[in-house]
């Protein structure tokens, strides 16, 4: 058996087209849509990611604002920049690019964002609304995964979903979304300290790998016919690889996301969707 490839490129293209249509509708009402990023330091990977966000925003017809602070910026400088963007009417949503340099508190910087302008959907207020199955700005990567599952018509009701990873960026909100009413998966949240982790993974109908270890999961750890969502992006001597060993997993799974070309593209598309949603709410 060879798995169906769940292309992030195809789904992200559909999302970006929808976003562009919504941006154009707001422009007809005399309303622009603006996305801002705040980056601290010179991390090459973050710089590439931020540039991709701005290119995607501009292609969707949005205004794009890039604020870059030096690596030795103090916490108050970062939060001051965030507060200025909170009051900037041109900016509908913003992102503080994580991780911040050593000595700075990324969680505190995110908490300084106006929840109504939270493009990443990671403000504590928005995460709380997610836990209550409310709100409209949801964490970008998990939202992108849910969009992929819907696009490829992958059934979730009654399925056992095992999520390997418990970060507030992906693992925790992913569990909330998969277990929500209307999605109705039975969710197990696993992590690096889970006993018999691989045995648990072999039981999953939907396996989400978000642990940050290259090729941590291989074909021996996957239930035949399972759907495998690889969130990992790891830089190795072989280039970018996921948390799943793609070559062995594709022979066991029924469907799998590639790395690159999978979930990562959906993250950027979901950021754009959050931004135009924030603009629509601000416009009433």
Active site residues: 53, 97, 120
Burial 141-164 (b: 16+ CB within 10 A, else e): bbbbbbbbbebbebebeebbbbbb
Contact between 36 and 176 under an 8 Å Cβ cutoff? The reply is no
Lateral strand order in the sheet of 93-96: 63-69, 34-40, 93-96
Exposure of 108 by Cβ count < 10 A (0-12 exposed, 13-18 middle, 19+ buried)? middle
Q: Residue 172: left if φ>0, alpha if ψ -120 to 50, beta else—which one?
A: alpha
């Amino acid at each position: 058996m060879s798995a169906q490839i769940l292309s992030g490129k195809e789904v992200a293209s559909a999302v970006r087209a929808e976003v562009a249509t919504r941006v154009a509708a707001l422009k007809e009402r005399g309303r622009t849509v603006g996305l801002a990023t705040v980056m601290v330091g010179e991390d090459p990977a973050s710089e590439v990611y931020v540039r991709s966000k701005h290119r995607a925003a501009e292609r969707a017809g949005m205004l794009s604002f890039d604020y870059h602070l030096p690596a030795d910026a103090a916490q108050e400088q970062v939060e001051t920049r965030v507060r200025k963007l909170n009051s900037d009417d041109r900016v509908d949503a913003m992102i503080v690019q994580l991780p911040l340099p050593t000595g700075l508190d990324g969680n505190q910087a995110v908490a300084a964002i106006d929840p109504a302008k939270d493009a990443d959907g990671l403000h504590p207020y928005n995460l709380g609304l997610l836990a209550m199955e409310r709100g409209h700005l949801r964490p970008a990567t998990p939202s992108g995964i849910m969009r992929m599952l819907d696009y490829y018509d992958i059934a979730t009701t009654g399925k056992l979903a095992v999520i390997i990873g418990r970060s507030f960026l992906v693992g925790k909100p992913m569990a909330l979304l998969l277990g929500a009413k209307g999605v109705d998966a039975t969710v197990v949240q696993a992590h690096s300290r889970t006993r018999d982790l691989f045995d648990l993974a072999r039981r999953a109908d939907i396996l989400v790998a978000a642990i940050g270890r290259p090729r941590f999961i291989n074909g021996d750890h996957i239930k035949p016919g399972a759907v495998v969502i690889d969130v990992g992006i790891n830089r190795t001597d072989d280039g970018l690889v996921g948390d799943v060993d793609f070559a062995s997993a594709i022979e066991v799974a029924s469907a799998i996301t590639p790395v690159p070309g999978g979930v990562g593209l959906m993250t950027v598309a979901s950021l754009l969707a959050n931004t135009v949603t924030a603009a629509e709410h601000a416009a009433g």
